[in-house]
Structure 1
Amino acid sequence: MKTGSDPSVTTIGEEFAVAMQAWEDGDLAEAQRLGRRLAARRPDFGGAHYLLGLIAQQQGLGRKAVDHLSRAVAADPRQPVPRLALGQTLEAQGQRDAAILQYRTVLEMAPTHAEAHARLGELLGQSGQRDAAIDHCRRAIAANPRHAVALCCLGSLLHENGQSEEAAGFLVRALELRPNWATALYNYGLVLVACGHLHAALTILSGAAELRPNHAATAAALAGALRRLNRLDDARAEAERATRLAAQESGGWLELGLIRAAQGRQEGAAAAFERVVAIRPDLVQGHWCLAESCRVLGQTERAAEHYGLCLRLDPSDRIGAALGLAQVGAAAPPERAPDAYVRQLFDDYANHFDSALVDGLGYCGPEQMGEVLSRVLDRHNGLAVLDAGCGTGLAAPVLRPLAAWLDGLDISPAMIERAERRGLYDRLEVGELIAGLSARPGCYDVVVAADVLVYFGNLAPLLTAAALALKPGGMFACTLERCDEADYRLGNGNRYAHSAAYIEAQAAAAGFAVALLEPAVSRREAGADVPGWVAALRLRT
């Protein structure tokens, strides 16, 4: 005898409990039969429509599920359970805004509802409301620290927000709960790439690809990890696989273009980037990559067109398109690199800055600054010192012995976060250099700017601000790149080089005397020394 025919079951509540038990036991037919009987017996009973909505949802009958769940909500508007189910069904139907409304209503009734916060966080993230999405995911985790979806979503959102190291912790927690979850493995792989942990990323992304062999984005991410490891043939194979899996997704084509460019196949790279901008005409990176390939191919007009599109799509110029326009002769070089470009460059670079700069490029600017200061300073302790453009704090070990007070200033939040970990600064601040110097009148005995002036062509505003920040007789020490044929020029790497005569003239105009200006090499590029200067300028009393 079926449970539903038990004559001892007489009340609506008892019959509903039996029906829900059938549903939970997987007896879909019995649950549906009992649900329909309940709805016929009591058309205004929301529980019957809730159950029938769940069944319709499982059967893939989205519209029918929405209808039943909407009736369940109407029967008891203050009940969060059917409303949450309605939101999930609307979400599955692609009705994102309607689903968001339901989740928000659930939270009005139950402010700590973990699932509603998690779902709302994911949907807000998809709609570009990243800060609000992060907040809801954090609330979901506060309510339920083992909510795997919220942990994964928060990790992905933080990575998109440039907080990749924090993101890693949440994704590890998600994977501890669900070790073979392809989505979390994919997101964690992206984070590991961003943090420079390429071999670990390759392992994680390979696992994600095994779980989802037909997922194009995973293949593209795997190609990116292989490219960064210089395994270019393997990378190309993965990128080509990504384009076969999803020819209308831009990620695989973008990776394929970058790999072809790394292999010196610029025409093939340009063709891949053409596909990217055709698929995603709003993607700044696609236009910039195409412009760069066209520049290498000597197609300057075409390059200028796409640099111009970058600027129209992103007027703040995080990608440095204004510098690209100057490189192809379509515009005069700007007097300095765009702030947004420098900030983005170093935010992206922060996680592997030290190893890339010191190990990869032989960078020795901090040591040069220490040697210069030992020669020009009258005293070597008890000073107020500013590390201007401090980056990750590479110069801090050199400057700390000189300083009674050591400040650091950098335009990149990610760099400042890394510098804080050294524990050597008395104060660190995110800020643009000229504004930061101007806001500190007469504060410092020494201002140091190692590998910073390469992002400024016209030095007059910077030197004027440095003079304002120094005490009378104070010292401004810096490294620069060298040119001999002009006051300054923009080099191929989008870094400015300056002549000795120009440095001396601008120093004098700002009130400095040149205490030292000598040729030096503070870094290498493509295996060759980059000619430069070290300078120490003393503010006249």
Structure 2
Amino acid sequence: MAQTELTLDEALEVAARAHRVGDLPVAEALYGRILEAAPDHVGALHLYGLLEHGRGRHREALRLIRQAVEHAPGAAGLHSDLGNVLFELDRPDLAVQAYEEAIRLAPEGVAARNNLGVALRVLRLPEAAEGVYREAIAIDPKHRDAWDNLGRLLAGSGRIVEAIACHARALELEPSNAATRRHLIAAYGATGEHHKALPILQDWLREEPGSETARHLLAAISGENVPDRASDAYVANLFDAFAATFDHKLARLDYRAPELVAEAVAASQEAGTTGLAILDAGCGTGLCGPSLRPFADRLIGIDLSRKMLERAAARGCYDGLEAAELTAFLEARASAYDLVVSADTLCYFGRLDAVCRAAAAALRPGGRFVFSVEETESGDGFTLQGHGRYGHTRAYVEKVLAETGLIRLETRSAALRMERGEPVHGLVLTAMRSL
């Protein structure tokens, strides 16, 4: 029997089906063959671009989708997807233009409006973002993501009661959505209405008994079964979830921990110091990297979130990056570093003795350990706060340093960030391993 040749559109349908079910090698091969035969095939360019976007290859995705837009400039969906790729490439300004064009072409587009609101918020235009979210909700009152994003915007500006109403509506629309549950629990935590957060957490754990996020937040809200530190899974899931917007989110919060830690590092070193072996412990997207690089012969970053590490790699200032748990990593590297830096990482540790002992062992004689913690004046040394981070008393942190072989050189009080319109008070400490 003679083989029947597929038309390009039939081949695209097969490729799209493979793409939907996750058979990416087949989809990629077919998209490639279609484009070999017809380099301007809009559908193949678009879907291949989405495939690359999903893989994290955003620059290649940008090239493909831009080419699709050139051949079909009136397709609103193409502009919307172009905006999504530009946003991932840390160009929210260009993403705004793409979303606005998508809305011009399809005025009832809700997804483009919702994404436009996200980009506007990143650009620190909260009033414009709020207006766009409300437009999206007016068009589709059942758009859960728009309700959640509006709630997050309102909470960030201290309008907690309004935020609660938004997240509660989002939860009505999708009762099992983990992100919505987390937002609503956080909002209730901000108002001290823990009795309203507890049923949400209990429902969550009934449906997902293995959820590390729900278990951690239940401990934070109830004060029962508080762990000595947040689990690896909790931290990795938390930071993977917002790696793409992390830097912009922290900019909105006037996040100062990396700057404060960098100042403490500079103060602890003699002028002109170079050639150090440095570990950026919990490096995240690498915000400390540029400040540490001038001191370093070798700069290593570790973090539990692989998606954050991808962002750190893009900065180009690290000699190595590794997904690893901090204490175990330090314990395996005796006398390896002249400087260990940890900005806003130990707020996910309650007890600090193990990690400080490991840091002391990983330092060379005379090496420095510079880190930040959130400060609390309550609790027996440390407290798991309602938002899921730990606060530590000054006396406890200084006591742990003394007990783990580290000499405290300086303790500085500072506001690490703003949260819901209020400063988050912290401590920046510099300690030294004895000579």
Q: Report the TM-score when normalising by structure 1.
A: 0.66
Which residue is 1:368 aligned to?
Answer: 263
> Any idea what SS the aligned residue of 1:405 has?
strand
Distance 1:483 1:259 in 2: 26
Q: Name whichever of 139-148 and 309-318 sits farther off.
A: 309-318
1:408 aligns to 2:301 (yes or no): yes
Which residue is 1:238 aligned to?
Answer: 135
The 8 Å contact of residues 154 and 170 in structure 1, kept in 2 or not, is answered as yes
Map residues 426-505 of structure 1 onto 2, 5 A cutoff.
426-486=319-379, 487-491=381-385, 493-505=387-399
Could you tell me which amino acid in structure 2 is paired with residue 122 of structure 1?
Answer: H
The 8 Å contact of residues 189 and 387 in structure 2, kept in 1 or not, is answered as no
Map residues 89-238 of structure 1 onto 2, 5 A cutoff.
115=12, 118-124=15-21, 129=22, 132-133=23-24, 135-143=25-33, 144=35, 146=39, 147-157=41-51, 159=53, 167-194=61-88, 197-226=91-120, 229-230=125-126, 231=128, 233-238=130-135
Structure 1 residues 261, 369: closer, same or farther in 2, change over 3 A?
Answer: closer
Deviation at residue 339 of structure 1 after TM alignment: 3.0
Deviation at residue 354 of structure 1 after TM alignment: 4.7
1:531 aligns to 2:421 (yes or no): no
1:328 aligns to 2:221 (yes or no): yes
Could you tell me which amino acid in structure 2 is paired with residue 184 of structure 1?
Answer: L
Larger radius of gyration: 1
Structure 1 residues 446, 214: closer, same or farther in 2, change over 3 A?
Answer: closer
Which residue is 1:305 aligned to?
Answer: 199
Q: Which runs of 5+ in 2 are unaligned?
A: none
Distance 1:367 1:452 in 2: 15
Distance 1:422 1:395 in 2: 10
Deviation at residue 447 of structure 1 after TM alignment: 1.7
The 8 Å contact of residues 151 and 163 in structure 2, kept in 1 or not, is answered as yes
The 8 Å contact of residues 413 and 430 in structure 1, kept in 2 or not, is answered as yes
Between the two structures, name the one with larger relative contact order (CA 8 Å, sep ≥ 6). 2
Distance 1:533 1:298 in 2: 24
Distance 2:248 2:180 in 1: 28
Which residue is 1:288 aligned to?
Answer: 182
> Any idea what SS the aligned residue of 1:81 has?
coil
Superposition RMSD on alpha carbons, in Å? 3.7
Say how many residue pairs are matched.
Answer: 424
Distance 2:4 2:409 in 1: 76
Distance 2:387 2:59 in 1: 28
Which residue is 2:170 aligned to?
Answer: 276
Distance 2:151 2:249 in 1: 23
Distance 1:500 1:263 in 2: 29
Structure 1 residues 164, 322: closer, same or farther in 2, change over 3 A?
Answer: farther
Deviation at residue 308 of structure 1 after TM alignment: 3.7
1:399 aligns to 2:292 (yes or no): yes
Distance 2:47 2:205 in 1: 31
Map residues 40-59 of structure 1 onto 2, 5 A cutoff.
none
* Structure (1/2) with the larger strand percentage: 2
Deviation at residue 270 of structure 1 after TM alignment: 4.3
User: For each residue in 1:100-159, what CA deviation from the matched residue of structure 2 results, as whole angstroms up to 9, or x when unmatched?
Assistant: xxxxxxxxxxxxxx63663234322xxxx3xx33x4443344432645334433444555
Q: Report the TM-score when normalising by structure 2.
A: 0.80
The 8 Å contact of residues 474 and 538 in structure 1, kept in 2 or not, is answered as yes
> Any idea what SS the aligned residue of 1:153 has?
helix
Which residue is 2:144 aligned to?
Answer: 250
Q: Which runs of 5+ in 1 are unaligned?
A: 1-74, 89-113
